[in-house]
Amino acid sequence: MNARTTAQRVRRGEISAVSVLEDSLARIHAENPRLNAFLRLDEEGARAAAERVDALVAAGDDPGPLAGVPIALKDNLCQRGVVTTCASRILGEWRPPYTATVVERLAGAGALLVGKTNLDEFAMGSSTENSAYGPTLNPRDLSRVPGGSSGGSAAAVAADFTPVALGSDTGGSIRQPASFCGVVGLKPTYGLVSRFGLVAFASSLDQIGPFSTTVEDAALTLEVIGGHDPRDSTSLRVGAPQLVAHVDDGVAGRRVGLVRELFEGADAEVVAAVHTAAEVLRAAGADVVDLSIPELSLGLSAYYIIAPAEASSNLARFDGVRFGHRVSGEDVTAMMEATRTFGFGDEVKRRIMLGTYALSAGYYDAYYGQALKVRTLMIDAFARAYQHVDLLLGATAPTVAFPFGAKSHDPMTMYLNDVFTIPTNLVGHPAISVPFATGEGGLPVGVQLLGPGMSESVMLAGARILERDREGL
Amino acid sequence: MSLPDGWELVVGLEVHTELLTASKLFCGCENRFGEEPNTHVCPVCLGLPGSLPVLNRQAVELAMRIGAALHCTIAPSTFHRKNYFYPDQSKDYQISQYDLPINSRGYLDLPDGSRIGIERAHLEEDTGKTTHLSSGGRLQGAERSLVDYNRCGVPLVEIVSAPDIRSSAQARAYASELRSVLIATGASDGRLEEGSIRFDANVSVRRAGEPFGTRCEIKNLNSLRSLQRAIDYEAQRQIDLIESGGVVRQETRHWDEGLGETSTLRVKEDAEDYRYFRDPDLVDLAPEPAWVDEVRHRLPPMPSERRSALGALLSSPTSAQLDAVEAVVELGIERFVHAVARENGDVVIALSRAANELASAVDEVDRLAEHSFVTVVDMEASGEVSATQAKALLAGLLAGEDSDPRSLARAKGFEKMDQSALSTLVEELIGAHPDEWSRYRGGDEKLAQFFIGQVMRRTKGQANGKTVIEELNARR
């Protein structure tokens, strides 16, 4: 049962939040040992929340728009007192003394926070194979990766553990696993959702967003978690977005750009899905035009300078001094070195080194400085495109979910997975992946809709059309 | 200290001042000195994962006041991260300003009329405090290192002077004047002993007419005295080195107050690469022009203006009076002297009482009403009380014994002595000390002090010295 229906029935008293939760937990207990989507459950906390929701309903009060909806959190989101690992050894059994803004808002809307999901360590990866706590299996095909880095959250929704999960998207970490697992994944406009309490990977790119089984649930969740937060300086000064009311607005009269650089080089079945999606939008009244934005091909290389550069600084604080795991050493410097050597996995170390190098004296201009210029070029290129169209259409990922180990030996091949998702992060725009077709072995294929900053409402209406006509296919 | 002939000293100072804000630069923790370690900390200033900085508006206001007081351009600015691993830096980077500081290109005029350029005065966060045990205070080889994060995230402004300073005395005068300015703006409490203001000195020497020499940066200068001594020592060290055929290396040096020496801390080749880049957690700082104008407009008068205003009350001030003017302005108590001037009182007496009696109890001056001070000065000037009694009255008023000078004078028995009683007493003393009297009559003026002393002892300081001399001379 999707989130919106669940919440409606709980609010009307037709079902109890406790029973919804117990159903969810039963499925998790049955399947999670195999899938490894959840790293940790907070059953006690979730039960207490469910009882509060039921008590409010019994008293005639409204527990909120997500009343009784079980929700999973990617394990890089802080929740007071609940172990947060970022799927890294370096945090040990760290329990944050505070709660992320998005988690507070979910709880305030009546959601039941059932636990923390697996990810690539510090959200660095595209397969969830980089977790210190073992990979998550794709519920659609257990021999394949769920994508990443928010693979645990995508799998939790795909396996029907929870109707909604939160992930974070720095270069595609929500949309690519959504595509691989056959669920909806939304990356909001940068600044629409507070990052307070999200353990940073690359601060200028990170954005929290929902996974769900329906477009409407993604809209509903974003309404709850979006809007200004004074604790995040990069938070936009906007109120909570109004999205659900517009989700069925359709695309009649909208102009959509079918962007060559956002599907070229993808597998044939993926390209075919994108073209079908274009036909669906056209049939619904949109004016779909072919577009080329050559600057998009620069995104990947700029991203792999900017994101590691910020990460090298963001991850400096994991030094064993104040929190997390500590490996002792001769003196403080030796302790820090030993802690980081033990605590970080290979991919994290690789990116810290890349980023450190890119920011170093003598290299800054050639690497980091240059990447910032590319970013500006891309912002301008998108702005030009959006003078002519309302939305852009492309693929989410070049392939369907790949088998375990297929790419983990070669970082460059793995990085290429993000080629279609990275541009929106670099320019701070929203994008959504909608499950649209099936490919090799019946595996899901997602297509991606992109819009300019704060165009979520229009973008979701387009996504709703793709979702509807996928059902009809 | 003067340099050997033909040599010139070149100094630039970097001054860090903590700002007197209620809370830290990027979080709501209290900004307080001297509390139990790690009691003013939160997820933000401890750099816990997921926490984010939010800029303190009051810190921006105080930084702009400093910029305005130093005649700087106040411009839109950005924050950068200065990356380095050290346990007192909770995030292992410091948020500072780099290529676009909030304040740039200003100057400070010193009391001697010289002008020192200010290159920039930017905002940044302070670090925590580390204590390394059983390693002579150094990190390397320390058995244990303790960190107190109460200071971590406290707002600082770093004020960088141009290399315009040419002597250690001028460096001291600059530091002292800057301190007074910082206090006057309300940005700093000026407490050097608590580390509220800290100095680093960039020192180089050159033969007259030559380009700048290689500079060394001296750290650990915790007082005006050590600043001046360290510069003197370092200048002589560099001259000796060059004169003996050596070359000055660019390095950071540590001042040892006990030994009176500087020693190498690290050489340039070992300097950290801080990998500065824009902090993506913060947005550009662009105060509205109206706010900047308001800050400039509301800036209180600076010490130089206040010294001029106070000095203008004196017709031809002596150097001792000019020192008193400086001291009174430095302590911010010149309002008492101005109050006396407004009432057409004796400004010379007022300045002296302010520079001495008020200065010695400066923490208590809020107890003293300006009109009470005016009354005491008038009482002294008119001979109603003696100078000794006037000092005692001020001490009593500052100690809170009373708030009304005249009732306090009565309580202390400081009524003006009856003229005939004084006359009788002088007669009596002349009779009792015939030798001293004849020597005084013979022209030994020093003996006037002897008779005044006797009168004071007998009257417990109640008599006026001038009146005693009049009485003596009437009988000479």
Q: Are residues B457 and B444 in the same domain?
A: yes
Instruction: Name the residue among A199, A233, A322 with its Cβ closest to that of B90.
Output: A322
Cα(B459)–Cα(B451) distance, integer angstroms = 12
Q: Is the dihedral of CA A111, A112, A114, A116 positive or negative?
A: positive
Check whether B184 has a pLDDT greater than 90. yes
Q: Minimal Cα–Cα distance from A391 to chain B, Å? A: 27
A317 to B91: CB separation less than 8 angstroms, yes or no: yes
Residue B1's pLDDT is 66
Residue B106 to chain A, least CA–CA distance (Å): 29
pLDDT in tens, B299-354: 999 999 999 999 999 988 899 999 999 999 988 899 999 999 999 999 999 999 99
Best of A198, A322, A335 to substitute, by most chain B Cβ atoms within 10 angstroms, is A322
What is the distance between the alpha carbons of residues A139 and A30, in angstroms, rounded to a whole number? 13
- 3-state SS record for A188-208: CCCCCECCCCECCCCCCCCEE
**How many domains are there within chain B?**
3
- How many CB atoms are located within 10 Å of the residue B143 CB? 10
Give the largest Cα separation in chain A, rounded.
70
Tokens in use for A94?
């760290």
Q: Are residues B107 and B157 in the same domain?
A: yes
Burial class of B223 by CB neighbour count within 10 A (0 to 12, 13 to 18, 19+): middle
Last residue of a domain, one of B261, B282, B297: B297
Return the residue in A98, A168, A317, A326 with the most chain B beta carbons within 10 A, the one to mutate for interface testing. Answer: A317
Q: Rounded distance, CA B181 to CA B106, Å?
A: 13
Residue of A nearest to B280 (CA): A204
Question: For residue B322, what are the domain limits?
Answer: 301-411
Instruction: Note the pLDDT of residue B465.
Output: 79
3-state SS, residue B139: coil
Amino acid at B328: V
The H or E element that residue B156 is part of is strand B155-161
Same domain, B54 and B107: yes
Q: Which residues lie closer than 8 Å to B62 by C-beta, 6 or more apart? A: B19, B20, B21, B155, B157, B185, B186, B187
Given a cut of 80, whether residue A314 has pLDDT beyond it is: yes
Considering chain A, what is the average pLDDT of its residues?
A: 97
Instruction: Pick the last residue of a domain from B362, B377, B411.
Output: B411
| pLDDT tens column, A396-417 | 999 999 999 999 888 888 888 8
Of B37, B296, B25, B274, whose CA–CA distance to B156 is shortest? B25
What is the nearest CA distance from B44 to chain A, expressed in angstroms?
Answer: 10
* Spatial contact of A118 and A136, defined as CB atoms under 8 Å apart: yes
Question: Percent of chain A having pLDDT more than 90?
Answer: 96
Identify which of B48, B90, B139 has the shortest CB distance to residue A333: B139
Of residues A77, A86, A203, nearest to B281 (C-beta): A203
Distance of CA A93 to the CA centre of its chain: 24
Residues of A in contact with B275 (CB under 8 A): 312-313, 356, 359-361, 364
For tokens 């997921």, the residue is: B50
CB contact under 8 A, B85 and A336: yes
**A471 pLDDT above the threshold of 60:** no
Are both B233 and B363 inside the same structural domain? no
- How far is C-alpha A118 from the chain's CA centre? 12
Q: What is the pLDDT of residues B244-268, one digit of tens each?
A: 999 999 999 999 999 999 999 888 7
The residues of A assigned a catalytic role are 74, 149, 173
Element (H, E) at A215: helix A215-225
User: Average pLDDT, whole number, for chain B?
Assistant: 93
Least confident of A381-385, B30-34, B250-254, B472-476: B472-476
**The token pair that represents B191 in the structure block:** 């407490």
* Cβ-Cβ contacts under 8 Å, A203 against chain B: 280-281
- Looking at CA atoms only, how far is residue B143 from chain A in angstroms? 7
Contacts of B276 in chain A (CB under 8 A): 359
Residues B268 and B133 in one domain: yes
Domains of chain A (ranges plus CATH)?
A: 3-246 (3.90.1300.10)
Q: What is the pLDDT of residues B70-119, one digit of tens each?
A: 999 999 999 999 999 998 999 999 999 999 999 999 999 998 889 999 99
| The pLDDT value given to residue B384 | 86
Would you say residue A472 has pLDDT above 70?
Answer: no
Q: Are residues B219 and B100 in the same domain?
A: yes
Q: Give the C-alpha separation, A194 to A211, whole Å.
A: 17
- Helix intervals (H) in A287-421: 299-314, 332-343, 346-359, 370-385, 411-415
Q: Please tell me whether residues B311 and B267 are part of one structural domain.
A: no
Is the backbone peptide bond immediately before A149 cis, with ω within 30 degrees of 0?
Answer: yes
Q: Report the C-alpha gap between A172 and A180 in whole angstroms.
A: 12
Q: How far is CA B392 from CA A414, B350, B388, in A?
A: 85, 15, 6
Residue of A nearest to B274 (CA): A360
Distance from CA of A309 to the nearest CA of B (A): 9
Given a cut of 90, is residue A469 above it in pLDDT? no
Note which residues in 121-150 of chain A have CB less than 8 A from chain B: none
pLDDT of A467 higher than 90: yes
Residue of B nearest to A203 (CA): B280
Site from A85, A121, A319, A353 to mutate, B interface, most B CB atoms within 10 angstroms: A319
DSSP annotation of B402 reads: -
User: Using CA atoms, how far apart are residues B434 and B424, in angstroms rounded to an integer?
Assistant: 16
Residue B13 lies in a domain: yes
In a domain? residue B2: no
Residue of chain B nearest A363, judged by CA positions? B275
User: DSSP assignment, residue A138?
Assistant: B
pLDDT-based confidence at residue B135 (cuts at 50, 70, 90): low
Question: In which band, very low, low, confident or very high, does the pLDDT at A473 lie, cut at 50, 70 and 90?
Answer: very low
**Which tokens hold the place of B382?**
């008119």
Residue B1, domain member (yes or no): no
**Residue B439, domain CATH:** 1.10.10
Beta bridge partners of B124: B156
Identify which of B89, B270, B132, B265 has the alpha carbon closest to the alpha carbon of residue A331. Answer: B132
My answer on whether B43 and B143 are in the same domain is yes
- Give whole-number Cα distances, B380 to A58, A245, B400, B414, in Å: 84, 84, 20, 11
- pLDDT, greater one: B411 or A232: A232
Q: Do B139 and A332 touch (CB under 8 A)?
A: yes
Distance CA B355, CA B336 (A): 11
- Whether residue A361 lies within 8 A of chain B, CB to CB, comes out as yes
Amino acid (1-letter code) at residue B288:
E
- Tally C-beta pairs within 8 A across A and B: 112
Contacts of A356 in chain B (CB under 8 A): 275
- Spatial CA neighbour of A378 closest among A428, A344, A333: A428
Angle between helices A43-58 and A17-35 (to 10 degrees): 160
CB contact under 8 A, B54 and A233: yes
Same domain, B281 and B324: no
Higher pLDDT, B431 or B120: B120
Residue B54 tokens, joined: 């939010």
Answer whether A360 sits within 8 Å of B50, measured CB to CB.
Answer: no
Q: Is the CB of B83 less than 8 angstroms away from the CB of A322? A: no
Q: How many CB atoms lie under 10 A from the CB of residue B112?
A: 9
In a mutagenesis test of the A interface, which of B42, B52, B84 is the best target, namely the one with the most A β-carbons within 10 Å? B52
Do B429 and B450 lie in one domain? The reply is yes
Q: Exposure string (b/e) for B175-200, b if CB count within 10 Å is 16 or more? A: bbbbbbbbbbbbbbebebeeebbbbb
Nearest to A234 among B83, B142, B283 (CB): B283
Contacts of B148 in chain A (CB under 8 A): none
Nearest chain A residue to B83 by CA: give it.
A313
- Chain B interface includes A198 (CB < 8 A): yes
- Least CB–CB distance from A331: residue in B83, B141, B275: B141
What string of DSSP letters covers A427-450?
A: HT--EEEEEEEE-GGG-EEEEEEE
| Chain A nearest-CA residue for B94 | A313
**Residues in chain A within 8 Å Cβ distance of B273:** 360-361
The mean-pLDDT minimum among A237-251, B170-184, B189-203, B433-447 falls in B433-447
Q: Nearest CA of chain B to the CA of A467: how many Å?
A: 34
Last residue of a domain, one of B367, B385, B411: B411
Joined together, the tokens standing for residue B157 give 């402004």
> Side chain identity at A223, as an amino acid letter?
E
The CA distance from B162 to B160, in Å, is 7
Q: Are B95 and B125 in contact (CB under 8 A)?
A: yes
Same domain, B293 and B327: no
Q: How far is A363 from chain B (nearest CA, A)?
A: 10
Question: Of chain A residues 311-330, which have a CB less than 8 A from chain B?
Answer: 312-313, 316-319, 321-323, 330
Task: Give the pair of three-digit tokens for residue B449.
Answer: 């002090």
- Inform me whether the C-beta atom of residue A230 falls under 8 Å from chain B C-beta atoms: yes
State whether B364 and B274 are in the same domain.
Answer: no
Q: Does A284 touch chain B (CB under 8 A)?
A: no
**The pair of three-digit structure tokens given for residue B298, joined into one six-digit string:** 């509301």
Q: How far is A339 from chain B (nearest CA, A)?
A: 13
